[in-house]
Amino acid sequence: MRCAAADYEFVRDQGLLERLAEEGRLVGSAEVAPDLLGPAEDVLYLLEHARIRYVSFPYEWSFPALKAAALLHLDLHLDLLAHGVTLSDASAYNVQFQGPRPIFIDVLSLRRYREGEYWVGHRQFCEQFLNPLLLRALAGVPHNAWYRGSLEGIGVLDVDRVLPLRRKLSWNVISHVVLQAKLHRAAIRKPQANIEKIRERQLSKTGFRGLLGQLRHWIAKLEPADTGPTVWGGYADSHSYGSEEEQAKRRFVAEFVERTRPRLLFDLGCNTGDYAALALEAGAGSVVGFDADQQALETAFARAAAGGLAFLPLYLDAANPSPDQGWQQTERAGFGRRAKADAVLALAFEHHLAIGRNVPLDQTVAWLTGLAPRGVIEFVPKADPTVNRMLALREDIFSDYDEAAFTQCLTGAARIVRSEIVSAHGRRLFWYDRSH
């Protein structure tokens, strides 16, 4: 748009876009002919960006992923201010991930800084970054379900109500939660007076940088409050495989990846990332993992970050995946519309849907094979100790849950390339292909 052209030129001509892209903090972009999208009188510049292989949203990120995204935003903003540039907003949706590394994608939100201006994105940053982190760090509540139900983040009034009094007795919480909540309530009572006060507010650049730096220092120290044992957080060390059985499973998966060479692999029930790492070693281009266990996801994210792996673990309740959301349900695409992988691993996973969530076996298989044209699915029989535990306190209503029924369902959806029993209790891996 013409009204934004001068700001864009100011940022571009300083070489900031190229430098930040080279550093991996800003998505790479190039100017292309404005008429590529058709005639538009008000368009002066059209930018083409590098492709993000898998788009994810804040309500799918783990605590450390959201924290990494918040720190990227603050570090980027501090860098920009040193060059007379600021950000027009503070949306968490302006950040995506390449593996565990966050990257800023909204090039046109960079604009010239105006001396004395207040941080207009402060409240948005708090609602979309800070408050979800505080919910987990101070109250022990994961942000994912709440954030998904409120696309613009978690409101300051809600956090103010949720946090116990003892958690509010710090200057940071008072500054960014308690006082904001008080101002918000005052704005509701006297909206016009509040608008006039906002217009009159001034903040020096030094004060602006101080505010960003204070937030950065605080957020960098935040950690989840509930770090005790979870149902699947220790699965990698306590599953029902013997060492030889585990090696057989790893060989099967490695051969599948070596032969198929997927550019993007989904790892359903990724846990702490053992098989994601194996897949990358075997030749997968990148892996997006999915799990519902917070501790497992946090361990997986730390593993990916420490090893520089092209692996992004995300939160997913497979029986209730993210839907299309936002205005006219088009702003944020649901999991189904984004789930386009070259291959999928579903190891020790299908029984959590078929038995744990009562999803019919044929629908479970159809959903899994629909995620990618080829993959490996592990069938876990009733004789397995894990399924025994799942059925211990409930009636066994799954008379059609057996390997023969699973094989029939899979044969109806794809070609079985190979199968192999990998445990003494009868777990079997199925390599399927529906690409021909």
**pLDDT for 190:** 67
User: Which tokens belong to 103?
Assistant: 């990257």
Band (pLDDT 50/70/90 cuts) for residue 68 is: very high
Q: How far is Cα 182 from Cα 122, in angstroms, rounded to an integer?
A: 15
**pLDDT for 232:** 47
Q: Give the H or E element holding residue 196.
A: helix 191-200
Q: Considering the domain 235-433 in this protein, what is its CATH number? A: 3.40.50.150
pLDDT in tens, 117-130: 989 899 999 999 99
Q: According to DSSP H, which parts of 126-189 are helical?
A: 131-139, 144-149, 156-162, 171-173, 179-189
Average pLDDT, integer, range 340-349: 97
Average pLDDT, integer, range 137-141: 94
Question: Who contacts 420 (Cβ-Cβ below 8 Å, separation ≥6)?
Answer: 248, 252, 428, 429
pLDDT in tens, 142-201: 999 999 999 999 998 999 898 888 888 888 888 888 888 887 787 777 665 555 555 566
318 has pLDDT over 90 = yes
**pLDDT for 202:** 77
Average pLDDT, integer, range 226-238: 55
Q: How far is Cα 272 from Cα 291, in angstroms, rounded to an integer?
A: 9
Question: Who contacts 202 (Cβ-Cβ below 8 Å, separation ≥6)?
Answer: 116, 117, 118
239 has pLDDT over 70 = no
241 has pLDDT over 70 = no
pLDDT in tens, 78-87: 999 999 999 9
**pLDDT for 200:** 61
pLDDT in tens, 365-421: 999 999 999 999 999 999 999 999 999 988 999 999 999 999 999 999 999 999 999
Band (pLDDT 50/70/90 cuts) for residue 228 is: low
* 3-state DSSP assignment of residue 45: coil
**pLDDT for 267:** 98
231 has pLDDT over 60 = no
- The domains of the chain are located at 2-221, 235-433
Using a pLDDT cut of 70, give the percent of the chain over it: 93
More confident residue, 167 or 214: 214
Band (pLDDT 50/70/90 cuts) for residue 38 is: confident
Which one, of 300, 297, 258, lies nearest residue 280 by Cα? 258
More confident residue, 227 or 350: 350
pLDDT in tens, 251-279: 999 999 999 999 999 999 999 999 999 99
Beta-bridged to residue 375, according to DSSP, are 344, 432
Average pLDDT, integer, range 100-119: 95
Q: According to DSSP H, which parts of 319-360 are helical?
A: 335-338, 350-354
**pLDDT for 4:** 83
- Check residue 263 and give left, alpha or beta (phi > 0: left; psi -120 to 50: alpha): alpha
Q: Which amino acid is at 127?
A: E
**pLDDT for 166:** 85
Instruction: Give the strand pairing for 343-346 and 374-379.
Output: parallel
- Contact in structure between 132 and 98 (CB atoms under 8 Å): no
- Contact in structure between 288 and 268 (CB atoms under 8 Å): no
**pLDDT for 76:** 98
What burial letters (b/e) apply to 44-64, b meaning 16+ CB within 10 Å? eeebeeeeebbebbbbbbbbb
Q: Give the H or E element holding residue 217.
A: helix 205-221
Average pLDDT, integer, range 33-53: 84
**pLDDT for 36:** 81
